[in-house]
Amino acid sequence: MSIFGAVIAGIVGTLVMSMVMAMAPKMGMPKMDIVGMLGSMFDPEGNRMMGWVGHTMMGIVFAIAYAIGWSAFGSVGIGTGAIFGVLHWLIAGTMMGAMGMMHAGIRAGTVDSPGVLMLNNGGFMGFMGGLLGHVIFGVVVALVYAAFV
């Protein structure tokens, strides 16, 4: 296992996923501003820099978890990256439903709650956008991490 490789893969995966989220409205999907949501988690006014830091750190943590999974259960590959991305989406999407309890922006009404699996953010399209973004993250992490192991 390569922690360094996982960190690099997490950063690259987060950047690619963020680019896809930025393009989402142009593809008919709802706006997916996870950076804004994370940036307003502790301050209703928001802090985009803190949102970027939080999103990148979570990407690194999940990439390390993926690397642990690859070490324990098999080889690194696009297929396992996609499967890990789906599992990642189930975890992150479930947490989206609980965000209102701990999110300053949602409690203050300055940010809308995305709901479980982002179903409050565009319904099925929000769900699919979140799922697709996490699968892309998983595949990119697999491709980058494979270069280190």
**Residue-level pLDDT at 32:** 84
Question: pLDDT tens for residues 6-23?
Answer: 999 999 999 999 999 999
Q: In this model, does residue 49 exceed pLDDT 90?
A: yes
Instruction: Output the six-digit token pair for 66.
Output: 């993926």
What is the extent of the structural domain holding 71?
3-146
Enter the pTM of the model.
0.90
Higher confidence at residue 4 or residue 120? 4
- The count of domains in the chain is 1
**Residue-level pLDDT at 117:** 81
Residue keyed to tokens 């209703």? 44
**Residue-level pLDDT at 80:** 95
Helix axes 48-73, 124-146, angle to 10 degrees: 60
Question: Within a 10 A sphere around the Cβ of 120, how many other Cβ atoms?
Answer: 16
Grade residue 139 by pLDDT with cuts at 50, 70 and 90. Answer: very high
Instruction: Output the six-digit token pair for 61.
Output: 């943590």
Cα–Cα distance for residue pair 123/109, rounded to 1 Å: 20
Question: pLDDT tens for residues 83-138?
Answer: 999 999 999 888 888 877 788 887 787 877 887 888 888 888 888 888 999 999 99
**Residue-level pLDDT at 108:** 81
- Confirm if 118 and 127 have CB atoms less than 8 A apart: yes
**Residue-level pLDDT at 62:** 96
**Residue-level pLDDT at 118:** 81
Question: pLDDT tens for residues 50-92?
Answer: 999 999 999 999 999 999 999 998 889 999 999 999 999 999 8
